[in-house]
Amino acid sequence: MSWNQLLTVALFISQFQNIPVQLKTLVTDIYVVAGQENIKAVWKEPNLHVRPYKELAVITMAKMPKETLEFWKWDDSGHHAQPHPDSNVPPHLRVDYLTHSSVARLLTGPGLKPLTDRFTKNLMLRLSKSEYLNQEWSELPDLFAFMQQQLFPAAVEAMCGELIFSVNPKFVGDFWAFNKGLPYLAKGYPRWMVPSAYRARDTVLNGLKKWHLAIASKLKCPPIAMDEWSPDFGVELVRFRHDAWSKMPLMNEDAAATEDLGMIWAANGNSIPSSFWMIAEVVRDADLLRQVRAAVAKYVRVSEHEGLDFDYERLCNDPLLQSVYAETLRLHVASFIFRGSDRKDFDLNGWRIPRDAPILVSGHDAQMDPDVWTPKDKPHRRPIHQFWPERFLLGPTAQAKGTAPDFSFKGLGNSWLPYGGGNRMCPGRHFAKQEMVSSLAMILTLFDIEMVNPKGKIPENDLVGYGFGALWPKQPMPVRLLRRKA
Ligand code: HEM
């Protein structure tokens, strides 16, 4: 039986028997957890660590040096501000806490607004100058490739500054080539089987080292404010991480390149394919496109000096747009979420999971659970494989009472897992939502857009990336674009 088949069986048993299932592999035993109650128990345990990610993926995916991985494992102080009482790790070597908390500060704290402001400004500028913004229809061979080319530089510049692109003029293409080969690297294919995936990884890591060399002296500056931005290294987070690593002997230049690749991948590898899917799902359905345009139009602001702009806060809180966003992630993101318990065995609703054994939750399987998404007592709910833009709007009963349809995750919390869960849930979720909703709003406002393929046919999910977050489209999606009349 292949790994995929084994996992499917384990998930099936776990879901229906409501128990964790031990899956024996050549490398280690993995404990597969499914079902709302069991997943909730995993999220509720605050001390589970995320080292299985590093152990199972990062070493192959992003070439983390072996000794650095050992250093991560040695840090047993936990990811909370207060180190674990039994730990002797000195504060400056708390690599997990320092890395995790600095990212959280940027993405869930005061750094978020300046970051999203810079991203939306960058993207609007790029789209306004697009060669496809014409008075005549022009054909774009692949909407996904277009989104990769537009969104990636807008987001990376907002986070890491401009210099990364000056020292690596091909960085956009290099990154996406790496991302394409990533599932093969993560599954441990040897170099001779997928040489292009390895080459792409080496190229992007070398590019990051070149950038690190170019900013080394600039990173020695004192901390900058959360709303400040350096064209050389971007936001304070980048300076902070490099400063912290410079005090950790095992975080050498290879490890720093790996960690920055991990961050750039986490920040773009999921949200950009997801932004593509959101537009694709809307454009395929003329009725939905009309409704979404009407919703977006409510938040347009045209400023005399800066041109087209939006009230992004209200835009991202619009019920229909939120529901379309959540349904897009439900169908097109398939994350495997890993945890481990490092000091003692983990008691999962009466079942014992040995300390340090990897625990796996499959997000997509939870997002396709018929008991949750199409229960028998809610016959109006559409089939789970169908994109239903109103899935997260409160149902007909609430509407009959005269209340406007509202967005809600009620009863779905532990079954909608694109961002993982518990206290290690993705810290970039707020930024990702802004990216997805604002790029949709900008593209639909600037362009008239038509599908070239027969009506309603969008690409399929490419399952080669199953488990690694947002799936890529299996086929290109050609579209026609035209500048929209004001
Ligand atoms: C649709 C877009 C995104 C998806 C589906 C996604 C998904 C995930 C998932 C599943 C995890 C693991 C969570 C867990 O273990 O419970 C994660 C972690 C992470 N994500 Fe995201 N993510 C997205 C966007 C972003 C963005 C935009 C950023 C940064 C700007 C980001 C930064 C991170 C970081 C730094 C971590 C590791 C956090 C830690 O070590 O505690 N993500 N993401």
Instruction: Summarize the confidence of residues 19-24 as an average pLDDT.
Output: 85
The CATH code that applies to domain 3-483 is 1.10.630.10
Instruction: Summarize the confidence of residues 159-169 as an average pLDDT.
Output: 98
pLDDT at position 398 is 59
Ligand 1 near 104 CB (within 6 A) = no
Q: In testing the pocket of ligand 1, which one of 119, 330, 419 has its CB within 8 Å of the most ligand atoms?
A: 419
pLDDT at position 455 is 75
pLDDT at position 53 is 72
CA 420/CA 384 separation, integer angstroms: 20
User: Which residue has a Cα nearest atom 17 of ligand 1?
Assistant: 426
| pLDDT level of residue 418 (50, 70, 90 thresholds) | very high
pLDDT at 481 over 80: yes
Instruction: Summarize the confidence of residues 308-336 as an average pLDDT.
Output: 96
User: Which residue has a Cα nearest atom 40 of ligand 1?
Assistant: 100
pLDDT at position 244 is 94
User: Nearest-CA neighbor of 365 among 331, 389, 390, 391?
Assistant: 331
State whether residue 453 is helix, strand or coil.
Answer: coil
- The 10s digit of each residue's pLDDT in 33-61 is 998 899 999 999 988 988 777 666 666 67
Atom of ligand 1 nearest to the CA of 436: 1
Which of left, alpha, beta for 51 (phi over 0: left; psi -120 to 50: alpha)? alpha
Instruction: Summarize the confidence of residues 3-20 as an average pLDDT.
Output: 78
Show Cβ contacts of residue 440 under 8 Å, excluding neighbours closer than 6 positions: 275, 278, 279, 282, 292, 296, 321
User: Nearest-CA neighbor of 353 among 10, 29, 43?
Assistant: 29
pLDDT at position 425 is 94
Instruction: Summarize the confidence of residues 246-275 as an average pLDDT.
Output: 94
CA of 483 to the centre of ligand 1 (A): 34
Q: Which of 103-107, 349-353, 427-431 has the highest mean pLDDT?
A: 427-431
pTM: 0.94
pLDDT at 90 over 80: yes
Q: In testing the pocket of ligand 1, which one of 275, 426, 430 has its CB within 8 Å of the most ligand atoms?
A: 426
Residue 152 burial by Cβ neighbours in a 10 Å radius (0-12, 13-18, 19+): buried
Instruction: Summarize the confidence of residues 171-193 as an average pLDDT.
Output: 93
User: Which residue has a Cα nearest atom 7 of ligand 1?
Assistant: 419
Strands 333-339 vs 346-348: parallel, antiparallel or unpaired: unpaired
pLDDT at 4 over 80: no
Ligand 1 near 328 CB (within 6 A) = no
Domains of the chain, residue spans: 3-483
CA 264/CA 361 separation, integer angstroms: 24
Q: Which of the pair, 187 or 292, is modelled with greater confidence?
A: 292
Q: Which of the pair, 331 or 410, is modelled with greater confidence?
A: 331
Instruction: Summarize the confidence of residues 271-295 as an average pLDDT.
Output: 97
Instruction: Summarize the confidence of residues 234-242 as an average pLDDT.
Output: 96
| pLDDT level of residue 395 (50, 70, 90 thresholds) | low
Neighbouring-strand partners of residue 351: 348
pLDDT at 17 over 90: no
State whether residue 261 is helix, strand or coil.
Answer: helix
8 Å CB contact between 441 and 70: no
User: Which residue has a Cα nearest atom 38 of ligand 1?
Assistant: 426
Q: Name the phi and psi angles at 39, rounded to 5.
A: -65, -40
User: Nearest-CA neighbor of 51 among 265, 421, 249, 338?
Assistant: 338
CA 335/CA 417 separation, integer angstroms: 8
Side-chain-side CA neighbours of 81 within 13 Å: the count stands at: 3
Lowest mean pLDDT among 68-72, 333-337, 395-399, 426-430: 395-399
- The 10s digit of each residue's pLDDT in 96-127 is 899 888 998 899 988 999 999 999 999 999 99
User: Which residue has a Cα nearest atom 11 of ligand 1?
Assistant: 426
Q: How many helices (H) and strands (E) does the chain have?
A: 21, 14
How many residues appear in the chain? 486
Query: Mean pLDDT in the chain?
Result: 91
| pLDDT level of residue 305 (50, 70, 90 thresholds) | low
Ligand 1 near 433 CB (within 6 A) = no
pLDDT at position 410 is 87
pLDDT at position 18 is 78
